[in-house]
Amino acid sequence: MTLKVLIGDDLAQGAIDIFKARGIEVDIKVGLNQDQLAEIIGEYDGLAVRSACKPNAKVLAAGDRLKVIGRAGIGVDNIDIPAATSKGVVVMNTPYGNAITTAEHAIAMMFSAARQIPAASARTLNGEWPKKDYVGTELFAKTLGLIGAGNIGSIVADRAQGLKMKVIAFDPYLTEERALEMGVEKVELNDLLARADFITLHTPLTDQTRNILSADALNKTKKGVIIVNCARGGLVDEAALRAALDSGHVGAAAFDVFIEEPAKDNILFGAPNFIATPHLGASTMEAQDNVAFQVAEQMSDYLLTGAVTNALNMPSISAEEAPRLKPFAVLAEKLGEFAGQVGDEGFDAVEIEYEGEVCELNRKPLTSAALAGLLRASMSDVNMVSAPSILNERGIDLKESTTCDSPTYESLIRIRVRVDGKWRTVAGSIVNDQPRIVEVKGMALDAKFRPFILFVNNTDKPGFIGALGSLLGEAGINIATFNLGREEEAGDAIAMVGIDQDISDDVMKKINALSFVRYAKVLRF
């Protein structure tokens, strides 16, 4: 089946050409409302958007083929990410394509607010010459406080240092090493508020950052501070900022983003020394082209190779590492399927152990693959994207561990699930480029994955193999492989019997009735 992508917002022609050059069919349907989008989304494997197209839960529910949504830009407020995750749809953005453009806009807004350029321009163009009314503030030697020191924030810091400003930064994720590399001083928020002459915001809108500049925070700032927000509406309490501008405590503010957009009526409009632009941060020709090209490349890579870049709801997998990860992802998923089927009574904890060279790989996708296989025993509509969130929603504990050395294999993955207070364990490795089961319940063996495997936990006594073989033969079940493991002679043992067809419930009852058998089940892969 040919891969198809729907482009729901205007994208540069070069992005469309990228899809087509890689063999992906493209339809362009701009301006669809959510009902119209839901009617047709079932035909597509991918959806490319900017900010106008809004794939909500209804759209995602109808996207039976949908695998990826790509946002040409940073903000993903228009995409229902929880619904996408539940549906197993990867959501990607392009955080770097417009970083320089957005950073430059923040610097431009700082200059405009410091020198009151828009008001001075408007009055001059109106025939006035109000030179005495506009005494500005230099940026030279002033302290700039960054709230958020990620990609865009770091570019703003670099440009501000070029203007000979001192830069301080508040960001919980900023390390001392990174701060040193950027040439900024890492500070706590209250310190930043007390010291900064200018404050710029460069953080996403989350529960932690909403109204990070609240009325209380604004009261802690220096009198005359200038505030610039080119990041997200909602980071600043707009009503509190209006009061601070009216009182003169805040000297000026310049916003490119607002809580409600389009912002045709806002409490900040008309405030003294307030400048507004209509969300222009990423609006340059270079940025618009860059993010369009990036999203086309990222979506194509994912659809064609499984490479994941800049995903919001699953671990990233580079195109370079995808080939090396793929066999381990297959192994992890099959081990998860094994563990899920032998733990079909329900489990309340999962432990995943990585041993050997696999520890050096990007393990997050492997864990996601394992969880997808594990949950598939109890629900069909689950994949690497949705599995981690489903596990979290069910309140199931997950632990991961790594051991650099593996005593027997170059790499080994072990999955343990807790069922009724007891742990059930399976481990596997890549042998001759194929995924193999090498351990069950701590007992070593070497078994291939097959579409049907009869798993038997039995007592190690003479006659078991003959009795089981005879029963399967009488039922017309052909044995393809037979692998055994045991703890000790006459102790606990397991049998992994690869069979060519499924086994009926009646035959399974007879198998479980054998005196040697403690537990038997057909596992399906």
User: 């009261």: which residue's tokens?
Assistant: 219
Choose among 56, 11, 65: nearest CA to 38: 56
Look up 424 and say whether it is catalytic: no
Residues 181, 188, 261, 487: which is the catalytic one?
Answer: 261
Helix axes 151-162, 99-115, angle to 10 degrees: 50
Look up 138 and say whether it is catalytic: no
Strand partners, 92: 70, 311
Cα torsion 472, 477, 478, 484: sign: negative
Distance in angstroms (rounded) separating the CA atoms of residues 488 and 474: 30
Encoded tokens for 247: 């009182």
Residues in the chain: 525
Residues 232, 242, 376, 424: which is the catalytic one?
Answer: 232
- Cα 304 to Cα 62, 298, 300: the distances in Å are 22, 10, 6
The span from the first CA to the last CA of the chain, in angstroms, equals 23
Helix, coil or strand: residue 299: helix
User: 């043992």: which residue's tokens?
Assistant: 493
Distance in angstroms (rounded) separating the CA atoms of residues 321 and 354: 17
Distance in angstroms (rounded) separating the CA atoms of residues 303 and 25: 12
Distance in angstroms (rounded) separating the CA atoms of residues 242 and 385: 42
DSSP string for residues in 217-238:
HHHTSPTTEEEEE-S-TTSB-H
Look up 232 and say whether it is catalytic: yes
Vertex 521: Cα angle to 520 and 522 (nearest 5) = 140
- Cα 406 to Cα 173, 354, 401: the distances in Å are 34, 9, 13
Residues 50, 71, 242, 279: which is the catalytic one?
Answer: 279
- Cα 231 to Cα 77, 173, 228, 469: the distances in Å are 12, 17, 9, 68
SS (H, E, C) 6-44: EECCCCCHHHHHHHHHCCCEEEECCCCCHHHHHHHHHHC
Distance in angstroms (rounded) separating the CA atoms of residues 450 and 482: 12
Encoded tokens for 332: 């992890």
Known catalytic residues are 232, 261, 279
